Amino acid sequence: MSFPDLVPDLAARLPDLRGRLIANAPLADLIWFRAGGPAQLLFTPADEADLAAFLGALPPEIPVTVIGLGSNLIVRDGGVPGVVIRLGRGFGEITVEGDHRLRVGAAVPDVKLARAAADAGIAGLAFYRGIPGGIGGALRMNAGAHGGETRDALVEARAVDRAGRIHVLANADFGFSYRHSGAPADFVFTSALYQGRPGDPAAILAEMEAITRAREASQPIRERTGGSTFKNPPGHKAWQLVDAAGCRGLRLGAAQVSDMHCNFLINTGGARAADIEGLGEEVRRRVKAQSGVELEWEIKRIGVPA
């Protein structure tokens, strides 16, 4: 599928833009599932000021979608209309500040934050070793693992809204809950400040290594997957409900429920996004029929069908 090219008009509106604009940019290679259609326009801003200028000049009728590392995402086969924003090197810095704090760009992978904290002797952020995503996504969905959540360590974050205005949000402004942030949907996070506590680097690294071993033993992390597919319903474990409904190993085309951990979907090779999403919906249907529990997607789904 090919969309109308937005680049000429936007380039004329923004002659001083420093970021990169790509029309009909393939997204499958940026998504862990390695499936899905193109972005009508992919924009990689140079820095926060470049992002703010772009959003401020973008016609309001053009939709905006933000993606991160693509670890928790299905891009539908028809692609994503409008602008897709993906932060790059200009949002990849990590700075150690006083009082055991770290300031990080929103494009920083979670694991890189955990490692930087360990190297600096800052405890309390090792749980990020178990989250396969980036800081921007962690802020948006209160990402957590191994007993820790984003809301436990976040001090504040910076964001740019759809009109190009810059905001600073304190932890309390997010309205965090389980795998959810109440921050405005149009905010594009650019950086975050985290609070840790004194720790021994060797002990923190040992904790991170234990998290790595646990993930490798229980999750199909070397497959084309999207991480945890469904949120844990109150009082339940999603994987147990999926298993009880007989869905372990269930397939639709080249998409499969993982035999190793059945709250993971995998692309066994050549799966369409429609296969992956359709398999997830079939799992939801079977779990509902078997247990009465309606599973809620944790993986984000964007774009239009083919």
The catalytic site residues sit at: 179, 228, 298
List % helix, strand, coil for the chain (3-state, nearest 5). 30, 25, 40
In terms of residues, how long is the chain?
A: 306
Q: Collapsing DSSP states into helix, strand and coil, what is residue 16? A: coil
Instruction: List C-alpha distances in Å: 285 to 245, 261, 272, 291.
Output: 10, 19, 20, 10
- Which residues, other chains included, contact 138 with Cβ-Cβ below 8 Å and sequence gap of 6+? 110, 128, 131, 150
| R_g of the chain, CA atoms, integer Å | 20
> Which of 80, 79, 78 is closest to 306 using CA atoms?
78
> Which of 152, 165, 166, 139 is closest to 66 using CA atoms?
139
Query: How many CB atoms neighbour CB 63 within 10 A?
Result: 13
DSSP class of residue 31?
S
Separation CA 222–CA 216 (nearest Å): 8
Separation CA 68–CA 31 (nearest Å): 9
The alpha-helical segments, DSSP class H, found in the chain are 7-13, 48-57, 110-119, 135-141, 150-153, 201-218, 238-244, 273-291
Query: How many CB atoms neighbour CB 98 within 10 A?
Result: 5
Asked whether the beta carbons of 41 and 23 are under 8 A apart, the reply is yes
DSSP class of residue 296?
-
